[in-house]
Amino acid sequence: MISIKEVNTKSDLKAFVKFPFKLYKNSKYWVPPIISEEIKTFNKEENPVFNDAEARLFLAYKNNEIVGRVAAIINWLEVKDQTLKKMRFGWFDFIDDLEVSQALFNQVESIGKSHGLKYTEGPVGFSNLDKVGVMTEGFETISTMITWYNHPYYIKHYEHAGYAVEKSYSESKFPFKNVKPEFFLKAQELIKKRYQLKALKFTKTEEVMPYADKMFDLFNESYASLASFVAITDIQKEYFKKKFISFVNPEYIKFVVDKEDKLVGFAIVMPAFAKALQKMNGKLFPFGFRHILHAKKHSKDVIFYLIGIHPDYQNKGVHAVIFNEYYNTFTEKGIETCFRTPELEDNYAIHQIWKHFDPVVYKRRKTFRKDL
């Protein structure tokens, strides 16, 4: 007998966050979140996304043990402003028991119907800066800080519940030695001269902050045409600055501005924290910070987290300026492997940017949809 309990207490929330630690305790590839940060994600007083969204969290029990969890999410900006009658769900984990997953699906679908929504889609987060997709390939490769990992059996649970593929994503990687400067060295000089552009270099996090709001504005502009994009609000900008910027080496943040100091392109690269997070096992204290700081300083692997070009400058080669800056930085740092975060497989523009580096797809993931 499966019972579903809504998360209403601090102890319930902690149990919700810690359930995957049990589910994946023997996995070499799962990367634990930082427990305290994950709890803050669902704190309405700390996460400003709750100004425009709501989430109800549920735990599934069998024989008095937690056997599954799900977050049922409605982003009201999406529903009202974009008229997408979508019920989101994420943080969806469960044992290999179809009754368990079906009970959690039923809970999400019931909430969607009660609000007059037309379909469900998941796994997704609150916005485009959250994790996305259930893995369908690449189970024997380590996950990253900014993606979900899941067991292979998850896919059959979606299919059994009547869900169909909605969006497909791929993750790729390439060795830094694949990066040949002749592809962008001369081009970037011509582009800077033609459009009167310059690249900004940072050595301290505080140097980045005056441009951070402009970066999120450009993020909104450059990603607006993608499926299911939900713009970052002004109040969310402050939250994301605190949450993400501290994890990023300032020299891994590249901005390109025009003659009026207007931001026309940006990219954010993060050190690979996966192995550090595995050593931490969800805890910052007493020694977790040491693992994070060591990875931040010494990791030879990097993850391209975000790259955005202003619509007026797309297809004008601005990415060559950005790649030239990274080539110099990565050469100095001795970087060995570059990874890319999940990208929509039909985002042909972004695929064109990377084609010269001969990237290899090593993971695929999908979101699933069901009409209500």
pLDDT band at 219 (very low <50, low <70, confident <90, very high): confident
pLDDT band at 355 (very low <50, low <70, confident <90, very high): confident
Collect all residues with Cβ–Cβ distance below 8 Å to 352 and sequence separation of at least 6. Answer: none
Residue 238, pLDDT score: 81
Indicate if the pLDDT at residue 227 is higher than 70: no
Residue 315, pLDDT score: 86
Residue 282, pLDDT score: 93
- Alpha-carbon dihedral angle through residues 278, 279, 285, 290, given to the nearest 10 degrees: -120
Q: Note the pLDDT tens digit of each residue in 200-210.
A: 999 998 898 88
CATH homologous superfamily, domain 2-169: Gcn5-related N-acetyltransferase (GNAT) (3.40.630.30)
CA distance to 79, 178, 277, per residue, from 199 (Å): 38, 23, 32
Residue 339, pLDDT score: 96
Q: Note the pLDDT tens digit of each residue in 81-98.
A: 888 899 999 999 999 999
Average pLDDT, integer, range 5-31: 97
Which of 196-200, 221-225, 332-336 has the least mean pLDDT?
221-225
Q: Note the pLDDT tens digit of each residue in 265-290.
A: 999 999 999 999 999 999 988 887 89
State phi, psi for 364 to the nearest 5 degrees: -135, 150
Which of 40-44, 54-58, 219-223, 356-360 has the least mean pLDDT?
219-223
In the chain the first and final C-alpha atoms are separated, in Å, by: 25
Domains 2-169 and 175-364 share a fold: yes
d(CA 242, CA 48): 12
pLDDT band at 228 (very low <50, low <70, confident <90, very high): low
* CATH annotation of 175-364: 3.40.630.30
The domains of the chain are located at 2-169, 175-364
Residue 349, pLDDT score: 75
What kind and span of H or E run contains 17?
helix 10-23
Three-class DSSP category at 279: helix
Residue 353, pLDDT score: 79
Residue 212, pLDDT score: 86
Residue 66, pLDDT score: 98
Indicate if the pLDDT at residue 231 is higher than 90: no
Indicate if the pLDDT at residue 244 is higher than 90: no
How many beta carbons lie within 10 A of that of residue 261, not counting itself?
A: 11
Structure tokens at 30: 């799962």
Full 3-state SS string of 113-179:
HHCCCCEEEECECCCCCCCECEEEECCCCCCCCCCCCCCCCHHHHHHHCCCEEEEEEEEEEEEHHHC
Share of the chain above pLDDT 70, in %: 99
pLDDT band at 58 (very low <50, low <70, confident <90, very high): very high
